[in-house]
Structure 1
């Protein structure tokens, strides 16, 4: 710059030029702005503005709000020129918007604002995993876990031979149904099964499928269930109820380990285990100490290494 005086006669001589001066302005929007969801938190990252307005960036201001609310909340992080920050104490499953702006000596720059972002965590492990086996197959059922803020949308099922360490993924349809049947298994071999939930935020990772919270079964031998005994007759006998049955011939390659006897009454509302009988036995006395006065139905099934076989239900008996 240079200066010249002006009077009624005219313009005077100009001064010598000043030193060079850079005009200052507020900063432009930050670059590479990103928001990453976490468990009850959001991690915000960015790069300095491409245009700092000609002045050093002295601070970044961060604000957030629920997507449904118009009220922005300022994150209290003091004066800070770090290029990332974590917003804590948020609610999983709720959408938030986040914005960041740079501050220089001139003032506050332009905002960079995110779209809706939802804090989430990975789904928990399924619970109450039950495996029921039959010839060449295993039927699994379980209780769905919490999704970590979003619904569970699928399950990953895997199995392996108990003698090996390599898991095999069962390719079934995408479904949130907490049950599945794995086929093509070999009778007489022992398998282990596991299941894991996925969500839209935590989908199946085909590169590293072993990560996550799995529900893992006990080892199970694959094979046909034992047939139900042909006859199951119950009668009141002394201080109890006597159940008799015909012993079965087990499936080829399997042996009967025991016979399981259960009883049912309307008062109980569910089957109760009365006891197990020796594989050579064909009767069991249900001790009256277990029973209240009333009408009972009994049932019996052979147990092999596969598990409990098919039940035969008796006649009703009043005790």
Structure 2
């Protein structure tokens, strides 16, 4: 009887292990399906505000062609780089999303382009994936963690995280300084949907004040890869340089054990302009990795707030 009980226990543990591994593979498959060639429709609109006299902003709508390429594929880490294909001769390195599994380290946005480092417990992140979103210049943007669900064959993930103002508003609005993002990703039959329930927050030493709430969605729909021929050619020439940029940023973040603050402009130039210019020079001059990292490290210094 004891032998039988031992066998049953071992069998049960094996089944649990197999189930956890199966769930992990489902998660990985869903995350990897975010990569592809898409037409993206961007739609945002404010829906409510606590102040009855608040004047709602004009709804934002835009669209573009976006290529999402997997650049790192590890068992518990998947990195996807987004690139905007403007036409047959223009491409913009866009945002990046790093997915990490059961990751206890997280960077929490505070305000004024500053982040503080946080530590999560094993219980906090058990079975969960962190989505780490980075700017076009590969500086941090926001990070949130949540569980992928695959109920009924529907793949979805959701989280909540504070972030800087979105680019669509950062140059035209000064009446709030933090966007609390409620994000939900859902895989569709021909792409994926990125839905958002966002709170526009005025953050001061006295606390947070809600300015308005907006709804948003970004609809990624698969399209012909031929539209991205130039983007693929451009990325092939630039990807080594940007891998070096990511490594330098990782070193910068590691060297700042508790917090990080970044100025977006220094010496009259925006950070992304500086790094994009270096990328073109790297390709033209055929710099190696050591040269790239040396020049990027030096270029970042004026933007890092001590």
Q: Do they fold alike, i.e. is TM over 0.5?
A: no
Q: Which has the larger radius of gyration?
A: 1
What TM-score comes out, normalization by structure 1 length?
A: 0.17
Instruction: Select the structure that is richer in helix.
Output: 2
TM-score (norm. length: structure 2): 0.17
Choose between structure 1 and 2 for higher RCO, CA contacts under 8 A separated by at least 6 residues. Answer: 2
